Structure 1
Amino acid sequence: MALAVVAGLGIGHLISANSPTASGNQNFGFSGQPSASATVLDAGAVAAKVNPAIVNINTELGLQGAAAAGTGIVLTPDGEILTNNHVVAGATSIKVTSIGTGDTFTAHVVGYDRGEDIAVIQLEDASGLPTAAIGDSSTVKVGDQILGLGNAGGRGGDPVPAPGTVTALDRSITASDESSGSSEQLTGLIQVQANIESGDSGGPLVNANAQVIGVDTAASTGYQLNGRRSGAGGQGFAIPINQAIDIAHQIVAGTASDKIHIGKTAFIGVSVSDGQGGGAQVRDVVARGPAERAGLTAGAVITAIDGKATGSATALTNVMDTHHPGDQLTLTVSDASGAQRQLQVKAIEGPVG
């Protein structure tokens, strides 16, 4: 049975499977206090220390005519924010409110790693923001007391505390995005027993020393979570902070790769799902978008872009992540009869991710 994953409100991710992996966490060299496994966590005191370095993220999803909400972690006083990619995916506008100062900012995406569900956004004209204390996730142990903090339910205001304990390490889940048809395998996750809610995505998972040891990314609840609490015993998943910070450093440095996209998102104006015989089948075509202007219609199957095979919706998404607005693309397309043709499409700037 598919389990719901907490995502930004209005953005549906589903867990299709979750199982432990055998590998241990890596230490990326962060120094900090020893594991807080023997330390009693005072939720009120910890929240008071961490809350000022949290932001509430609200996005407009222009193509869907919807809105979404999530959470972010302040990395620098001038407004570099760490969050989940799925919190900002599909956004045509991003507004961010600092808990520490009460100010609201416009933000843009610096870059993202879709496969690891990490993004960095930059607030415009920000300064003097309180920053988070970053811990060392390699010291986390099963049984540690933790606290999740975030924009629970997308309601805004002060972060809602979700105390709990670490129940497993090095967990893997497959999260699928209902809007794009793509999926990603998230590995090495910290699993916790805590009431993580929709809207908490991108928020900090902290230890008893008020250090961030993870980025909340998902919660399995057995039903589609839509702004409701998961209930007692809910299972949450967080990306270890060492892993998240390493990716964030690459993004800020502008180091693009097959996994990391820097800058604006290329857009051809289609939504796709896995084709029955392979490829990415076009479900919808955006009116007056690049694909429609090139003659692409719903039902066609995109099998390659610039000669790179797109054997699934996820593969198409991954190939598009290597491109930017303005790129000239050659799409190899099959119709219902199996006949192939090539279409020339110029990518434009589109919604994030």
Structure 2
Amino acid sequence: MPAVPPPPPAPPSLVERARHRPLLALAVVALVAWVAGLAGAVVGNRIARDDSSPARTPSTLGLVRAEPRTEPLPSMDAYAAASAIGPSVVSIDVVAAGTEGVLRGSGTGVVLTADGEIVTNAHVVEGATSVRVRLPGETEPRIATVLISDPARDLALLRIDADALRPAEFADPADIRVGDEVAAVGFALGLDGDPSVTVGIVSALHRTSADEQKALKNLIQTDAPISSGNSGGPLVNSLGQVVGIITFVAVADLGSQANDLGFAISNAELLPNIERLREEVDGGLVPIGFLGVQLAPRDDGGSGALVTDVVADSPAELAGVLVGDAVVSIDGVPITGEAGLVATIRDHAPGDEITIDIRRDGEPITVTATLAPRPPD
């Protein structure tokens, strides 16, 4: 077969597109290894379960958190890091009903507590009718219950019947630095056996990403090779402490020479959101605040996001936000682009009062808004 010349280079994009198109057409790939694609979003997804499924109750045990470091991390020893985190990494098998029949997918999870609470990505269990978890050293999977799923932050909590699991240890969020050596651990491609381990560095911090379903901020960017099936797996430092949860990889569009980029939800976002999700389990749905603006990138090179429309009678309109305003910070925290603003609002609940710093015709203005419940899609 004659060689096919590569397409002309195109710049890489970090704008998310449809998850299940061919790989080369993707800018962002969700890292769950599906036999076929799934469509549709599920918030607070309740998995159909039989009588042997674990109860829908969160663990009352605390997370294992490392003390802030006072000394530099040791150099990466991949074997040592993998050995430290390995007992806390589980494979997740998902069954879902699709237009082409029954679909199976696989991902990765991280053990939070000895009594069976596990964190993974929401997109791993999206649309699932059955979820099973296989523990290290075991051959038979265990039935899992989805306690709660939050697609807006791409996190889900699972529960299995257990009483002596090895919880992962989470690094202090302030100890994660650009240049740190890290290892990505997960069940790449859903392969049997032990999880795959790849090594890289923390390339950048505070990245953002957003699409119709989710808005993520404070992401860790890494050059550690990441594959489908790694979703929900840990990104760990040289001590085997979790620094983030792997969530997606951005690939070069149409033959661009840019290297693939991996992203993980950092502990700065992960840890408080685990606690928040635990509190929301009883209701099953995660309340999301609503401001009422449409956004675009700023066209003057400044930071923040440009308001292109304001919803009538929304909190934004009542606060005095106008089309053309550039939102630069919320509650004094700088906004990184549209995704940063969306993620910040989604971190607030209805009824929260926020302070919005904007630039209007070059002048700084501060307004206060009380967020409303997010209207149905």
Class of the TM-score when normalised by the shorter of the 2 chains: 0.5 to 0.7
**262, 267, 289: which one aligns with 1:236:** 262
Is 1:211–2:241 an aligned residue pair? yes
**172, 176, 191: which one aligns with 1:155:** 191
Deviation at 1:223, TM superposition (A): 5.9
Kept in 2: contact 1:35–1:141 (CA 8 A): no
Kept in 1: contact 2:80–2:239 (CA 8 A): no
2:33 maps to what in 1? 9
Q: Given the superposition, is the C-alpha separation of residues 136 and 82 from structure 1 closer, same or farther in structure 2, using an over 3 Å criterion?
A: same
Q: Which amino acid aligns with 1:166?
A: V
User: 2:170 and 2:66 mapped to 1: Cα distance?
Assistant: 9
User: 1:49 and 1:29 mapped to 2: Cα distance?
Assistant: 14
Is 1:105–2:142 an aligned residue pair? yes
Q: Given the superposition, is the C-alpha separation of residues 136 and 128 from structure 1 closer, same or farther in structure 2, using an over 3 Å criterion?
A: same
Kept in 2: contact 1:193–1:234 (CA 8 A): yes
Q: 1:238-291, CA deviations, whole angstroms, 9 ceiling, x for partnerless residues?
A: 001232122112222336789727xxxxxxxxxxxxxxxxxxxxxxxxxxxxxx
Which range moves more in the overlay, 162-171 or 245-254?
A: 245-254
Q: 1:151-208, CA deviations, whole angstroms, 9 ceiling, x for partnerless residues?
A: 1011132110011001100001224xxxxxx432211100001111110000000001
User: 1:186 and 1:127 mapped to 2: Cα distance?
Assistant: 33
1:245 maps to what in 2? 271
Q: Which amino acid aligns with 1:252?
A: R
Q: Given the superposition, is the C-alpha separation of residues 259 and 187 from structure 1 closer, same or farther in structure 2, using an over 3 Å criterion?
A: farther
Please report the RMSD computed on the Cα atoms of aligned residues, expressed in angstroms.
3.1
User: 2:285 and 2:262 mapped to 1: Cα distance?
Assistant: 25
1:78 maps to what in 2? 115
| Normalised TM-score (structure 1) | 0.61
Deviation at 1:99, TM superposition (A): 1.4
Unaligned stretches of 5+ in structure 2? 1-12, 14-25, 40-62, 288-345, 351-377
2:88 maps to what in 1? 53
Tell me how many residue pairs correspond in the alignment: 237
User: 1:222 and 1:232 mapped to 2: Cα distance?
Assistant: 6
Deviation at 1:50, TM superposition (A): 0.7
Deviation at 1:103, TM superposition (A): 4.7
Q: Given the superposition, is the C-alpha separation of residues 61 and 163 from structure 1 closer, same or farther in structure 2, using an over 3 Å criterion?
A: same
Q: 1:32-56, CA deviations, whole angstroms, 9 ceiling, x for partnerless residues?
A: 2528865311001110111110110
1:189 maps to what in 2? 219
2:22 maps to what in 1? none
Q: Given the superposition, is the C-alpha separation of residues 110 and 258 from structure 1 closer, same or farther in structure 2, using an over 3 Å criterion?
A: closer
Q: Secondary structure at the match of 2:221?
A: strand
2:128 maps to what in 1? 91
Q: Given the superposition, is the C-alpha separation of residues 112 and 37 from structure 1 closer, same or farther in structure 2, using an over 3 Å criterion?
A: farther
Higher strand share: 1
Q: Which amino acid aligns with 2:218?
A: G
Q: Given the superposition, is the C-alpha separation of residues 57 and 120 from structure 1 closer, same or farther in structure 2, using an over 3 Å criterion?
A: same
Deviation at 1:102, TM superposition (A): 4.6
User: 1:244 and 1:103 mapped to 2: Cα distance?
Assistant: 29
Q: Given the superposition, is the C-alpha separation of residues 76 and 202 from structure 1 closer, same or farther in structure 2, using an over 3 Å criterion?
A: same
Is 1:129–2:165 an aligned residue pair? yes
2:154 maps to what in 1? 117
User: 1:158 and 1:9 mapped to 2: Cα distance?
Assistant: 16
Q: Which amino acid aligns with 2:79?
A: G
Q: How does 1:256-275 map to 2 (within 5 A)?
A: 260=286
User: 2:218 and 2:268 mapped to 1: Cα distance?
Assistant: 11
Q: Which amino acid aligns with 2:226?
A: I
Between the two proteins, what is the percent identity of the paired residues? Answer: 33
Kept in 2: contact 1:111–1:119 (CA 8 A): yes
Q: How does 1:17-32 map to 2 (within 5 A)?
A: 31-32=66-67
Q: Given the superposition, is the C-alpha separation of residues 258 and 53 from structure 1 closer, same or farther in structure 2, using an over 3 Å criterion?
A: closer
Which one has a bigger Cα radius of gyration? 2
Is 1:254–2:290 an aligned residue pair? no
Kept in 2: contact 1:79–1:122 (CA 8 A): yes
User: 1:174 and 1:140 mapped to 2: Cα distance?
Assistant: 23
Q: Which amino acid aligns with 1:202?
A: G
Q: Given the superposition, is the C-alpha separation of residues 95 and 143 from structure 1 closer, same or farther in structure 2, using an over 3 Å criterion?
A: same
Unaligned stretches of 5+ in structure 1? 14-27, 176-181, 225-230, 262-317, 323-353
User: 1:38 and 1:155 mapped to 2: Cα distance?
Assistant: 31
